[in-house]
Structure 1
């Protein structure tokens, strides 16, 4: 007699349903980890601030992404237990907030080693996992499908977050800072244009972080616009890997631009506008290809490009790729075992 099929519901809480390629790839990682078996069917639910949050007494997975914030947690019932998986800490205030809710947290996997150490220093147990999108990688997947062509191709991922924050907050100083960054980036691309063509790929389409706007601003500020193609937004993992694997270089302000480039084995330059970008590069020995926000200039970006173009850098990316895929898969199984208890 056939055994009765068990149903298991797992609820994830994060920035889902906002047309952000990185966050939608988290969902793909969840699906790959919780595939139906002969005796178990998984109902996976992804909540976001547009949807109805769970109010019943249950366990909710917070993550992935930088989501350890009241914005998310306060939508849960006080009795709800939390497992944090694949999250990051965007500031010291996140550490303090996590300490304030630690009695509700029954398991923690963070995507930055620095964050894990910060929590352990406060007596909060945590495990390290690479960004969970690395789960979707395969050691044998084809990478770096660059074709012979007259000029090299750079895939560019720009972030419109700071510009939109400045507008929402009516912060003229921040707006001017971001405009200066755009002008410098446009100058860098003009300098590189004799050797590179540029594909601009928006990764976020939500009106709160509309990357297409930033792409259009850079295009407008450039003199050699004929070297630029503004592409359709990337929505899923397969599209992102194809875009990065077909490029010779990735220039990115977006965190998942780094992850996609690493998974594709493509050299990259990080334009470090966020803590998570800088930490990924520091913790994986790519600091020399990362431009710090307080050292942003045409010269510093060009120096980082030279580092990324140097052949041994590709070997470093390939080595990190294999290590991070393996670590992510090991920790994914540890998380799965934990939640299935």
Structure 2
């Protein structure tokens, strides 16, 4: 098999993999919907996704709602809290949404959206643990309200620069806002700069003790960083081999390839936000690494297998 055949097959594999990775599927919502019952006890974290399966079978059909209409937080909160246990008819302006997921049902839509979730908190006031909301990754900036009170926001509103579309939203719930043994309503006001995506697109929506939610968040990211440190050791080893044997270019290219992989993966972790870098800077670094990632791997293959230079491939 000549070098051209190897290159063509590798290109086909990359194209096919990229194509498969970009396919998005949408599910079907079930009806009717009910207010989800949430029981917070001990260290339990409760999933708030649309139609999440809970302990009680009669609570399986619940959802988030969205509207592109303009509204006020006070009126939307009051309307939601008087809806009762059945919420399959919240009004003509509200539509069921699969969350996490893109609420655009067409290729384009308005740049702002309101999302609503009603849940019944089946816990007593003697539950002392501080609670937090985890809302996944929202495209692109957001303001979150609980029972009419703002509990957090991310990003600068009405700017053309991307703010935080890949950042996990975790908001601590201040004391005195939750209604125990009663309905509670979450309102998310989200704004996007993209024409085809808005809202909590990926991740998970959940509520639970702040210590558990933050620990889960950091544990996952620290494990990713730990693996990146191991990759860095591998990259350093091959670069050291190249320094000792300057003719072994395959060690150089593999070391560079591994370092670019580390940069790319680090820019995709949540730890980058802990370092104070803005999204645009990190995305530039991410795509810079991705661009040269393929070149370094290509040159590694050519050096490792000793592929000859021909008239078509000059490098």
The answer to whether TM tops 0.5 is no
Larger radius of gyration: 2
Normalized against structure 2, the TM-score is what?
Answer: 0.23
